Structure 1
Amino acid sequence: MPPKQIKNRDQYLRASFLYQAAHLMGGVDGGGAGGECGEASALPLSRFYVSQMRAVARKSVIRLDPEIKRTMCKRCDTVLTAGVTCAAVVENLSHRRLAHADVLVHKCMACGLAKRYPVGRNREYVPHSGRAVVTAAGQAHGKQNQTHKSQTRTQKQEKQKQTHDQTERRDKDVQEQQQEQPTIQQPQRLAKR
């Protein structure tokens, strides 16, 4: 059976290409074309690619993933990179400094727009744009996060396997009970002659 065809596949491919090009020109990779072209000439090109990607998504009615939206400034279309094009700060505006009231604030250095993400009690939360930056601390955190995801994935798989095994056992027991029970045959009626 062939795989399902994706609607608007060309638009998805174009949006993906523009997003990757914007990140490359924005200097997220730390080298490559972003470093060679220079910051002054690469950032406007990066912004242009982001605006084009948004236009393609809007025209073809494609919903962008929230992880992708969080890496772009809504106001000036800058690719947000922690420490490079945006500042990340944890704020707590509650009167008593409650732990569950912590908010991660990403402030665009180009236009000053601030995005707020509730962090709360989860101190290990790292937004998508923070994961893109490769540092010694980030690598260690990324590995922990990755192992946590793989552990939850294996736990889900084990649970699914257990429920599958239970249903198989129950079906097998029902079949055995049906085989053990004698079948009662209806007496045949003799036709009147």
Structure 2
Amino acid sequence: MGKDGNTRFLHKEIFQRVNFLLQAANLVLKADPKNIELCRHYIATMRLVAEKHVIRLHPHIKRSFCKKCNIVLLPGQTAMVRCRSKSEPHTVVTCKLCGTMKRFMWRKSHQLWIEKQDAWLNYKIQDKKSRQLELQK
């Protein structure tokens, strides 16, 4: 709850669940690299929860797992990271299990959607009293 007690963050429990599943997948894979299936299950569940509740994952979260095989991308363990600069400087992250490649540009002008002003909305839930007042009108 906020300072004055009348505002809350929407979907807080869902974001907490997504965060927990991502941390669990990272921890399981770092503790024992043979636990690939459990890691895949956690990431697949995380994606299902986010999709079901229609929440947008932060780009850093999206970049941390493979979209094809649902595994956490750990450099040297499950992913190979290379820096290329043929036409445009970029980083290439390759999944060692399925071979899927991700390319991330280094342009200074490039802006992620989360950094744009249009991406942020003010989510507020009104307290019960103001809701009742609106219903009476």
- TM-score norm. by structure 1 comes to 0.51
Query: Are residues 85 and 5 of structure 1, via their aligned partners in 2, closer, same or farther at CA, if it must alter by over 3 Å?
Result: same
Map of 2:56 onto structure 1: 63
RMSD: 1.5
Map of 1:83 onto structure 2: 76
Map of 1:151 onto structure 2: none
In 2: Cα distance, 1:106 partner to 1:3 partner: 44
Map of 2:133 onto structure 1: none
Determine which of 94, 106, 116 is the counterpart of 2:93: 106
Give structure 1 regions of 4+ aligned residues with deviation exceeding 6 angstroms.
none
Map of 1:15 onto structure 2: 18
Map of 2:28 onto structure 1: 25
2:100 alignment partner AA? L
2:80 alignment partner AA? A
Q: Which structure 2 residue ranges, 5 or more long, are not aligned?
A: 109-137
In 1: Cα distance, 2:61 partner to 2:73 partner: 10
Structure with higher RCO (Cα < 8 A, 6+ apart): 2
Map of 1:189 onto structure 2: none
1:12 alignment partner AA? F
Deviation at 1:5, TM superposition (A): 1.0
Deviation at 1:120, TM superposition (A): 4.8
Structure with greater helix percent: 1
2:93 alignment partner AA? H
- TM-score norm. by structure 2 comes to 0.71
The CA deviation string for residues 11-53 of structure 1, in whole angstroms up to 9 with x for no partner, is 11111111110111121xxxxxx23xxx22x111011100000
User: Identity across aligned pairs (percent)?
Assistant: 35
In 2: Cα distance, 1:3 partner to 1:115 partner: 43
Which structure would you say has the larger Rg? 1
In 1: Cα distance, 2:39 partner to 2:7 partner: 33
In 1: Cα distance, 2:25 partner to 2:71 partner: 9
2:47 alignment partner AA? R
Aligned residue pair count: 105
In 2: Cα distance, 1:108 partner to 1:93 partner: 21
Deviation at 1:4, TM superposition (A): 2.5
Deviation at 1:3, TM superposition (A): 6.3
